[in-house]
């Protein structure tokens, strides 16, 4: 079995320099960059065609809080049309925030999965400013639809099978490390016997470490539980390695 982890980007343009994919399996690690979002989709589909025994971790939110889904009439994140997502990014209407003149409102910001395992995660509604993840999520929904159409299970929305895509939060997988410091990234990798080349940038580091940690839990990824909780089936659920949350 192989695993792939993608350090994603929702930039409106020039995202090629910010997206990294790491593939781990058989004791090897391969790092790939210089792809736009469509090309990343092509690459992942190609990996699955070559070997369907594949689990992919994507570091963006797979859905939105339930109250907002209900308000807008969407079953889950995969049901959000690209045009609607781009309109939210362009106009930044409440509850979205982070652009000039758009402050965070009082609405519930986080999905249950974030409250449970990643309370420090930025909410999907933040589409501007430091640490914003909303752009990546809203521009990630089309990738999820494509992967599903190509035969991937999107966990936890679909019954688990391989190939499968799961939502990851890299900080949960790396554990404590000052990622902004090259020396800290190098020490972290050396202490685990992992390739120091993965310290080249924070994006490369996140993709590489996520893939390596996922690979060490490949049995769990190959036997994901079927999720029946209706809230998770709509809001999504962050995958965590057993014993880490």
User: Please, what is the end-to-end C-alpha distance for the chain in angstroms?
Assistant: 24
In this predicted structure, what is the pLDDT of residue 245? 46
Contact yes or no for 77/64 (Cβ under 8 A): yes
In this predicted structure, what is the pLDDT of residue 219? 96
Contact yes or no for 8/136 (Cβ under 8 A): yes
Residue 127 C-alpha from the chain's centroid: 16
Question: How far are the Cα atoms of 158, 193, 201 from residue 125, in angstroms, in the given order?
Answer: 24, 38, 26
Q: pLDDT digits over 7-30, tens only?
A: 999 888 888 989 999 999 988 999
Contact yes or no for 225/97 (Cβ under 8 A): no
- What mean pLDDT is reported for the chain? 94
Contact yes or no for 66/235 (Cβ under 8 A): yes
Q: pLDDT digits over 97-112, tens only?
A: 998 888 888 899 999 9
Percentage above 90 pLDDT, the chain = 84
> Averaged over 84-99, what is the pLDDT?
95
| Tokens encoding 73 | 């009439």
Give 233's pLDDT tier (boundaries 50, 70, 90): very high
DSSP bridge partners of 25? 28
Helix, strand, or coil here: 36? coil
In this predicted structure, what is the pLDDT of residue 243? 56
> Averaged over 125-139, what is the pLDDT?
89
Q: pLDDT digits over 200-215, tens only?
A: 999 999 999 999 999 9
Place of tokens 């209407």: 93
Q: How far apart are CA 98 and CA 118, in angstroms?
A: 20
Q: pLDDT digits over 159-194, tens only?
A: 999 999 999 999 999 999 999 999 999 999 999 999
110: how many CB neighbours lie within 10 A of its CB?
A: 18
pTM greater than 0.75: yes
Total residues found in the chain within this entry: 245
Picking from 221, 231, 177, the residue whose alpha carbon sits closest to that of residue 65 is: 231
> Averaged over 39-49, what is the pLDDT?
98
Residue 225 C-alpha from the chain's centroid: 19
């Amino acid at each position: 079995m192989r695993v792939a982890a993608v350090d994603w980007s929702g930039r409106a343009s020039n995202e090629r320099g910010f997206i990294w994919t790491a593939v781990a399996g058989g004791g090897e690690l391969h790092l790939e960059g210089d792809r736009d979002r469509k090309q990343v989709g092509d690459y992942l589909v190609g990996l699955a065609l070559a070997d369907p025994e594949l689990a992919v971790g994507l570091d963006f939110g797979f859905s939105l809080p339930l109250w907002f889904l209900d308000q807008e009439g969407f079953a889950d994140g995969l049901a959000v049309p690209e045009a609607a997502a781009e309109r939210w990014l362009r106009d930044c209407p409440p509850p979205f925030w982070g652009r000039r003149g758009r402050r965070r409102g009082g609405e519930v910001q986080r999905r249950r999965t974030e409250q449970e395992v990643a309370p420090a995660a930025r909410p999907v509604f933040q589409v501007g400013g430091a640490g914003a993840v909303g752009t990546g999520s809203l521009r990630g929904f089309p990738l999820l639809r494509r992967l599903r159409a190509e035969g991937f299970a999107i966990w936890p929305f679909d019954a688990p099978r391989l190939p499968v895509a799961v939502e990851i939060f890299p900080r949960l997988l790396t554990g404590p490390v000052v990622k902004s410091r090259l020396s800290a990234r190098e020490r972290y990798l050396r202490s685990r016997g992992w390739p120091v080349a993965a310290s080249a940038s924070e994006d490369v580091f996140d993709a590489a470490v996520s893939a390596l940690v996922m690979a060490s839990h490949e049995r769990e990824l190959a036997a994901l539980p079927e999720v029946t909780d209706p809230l998770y089936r709509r809001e999504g659920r962050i995958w965590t390695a057993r014993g880490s949350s």
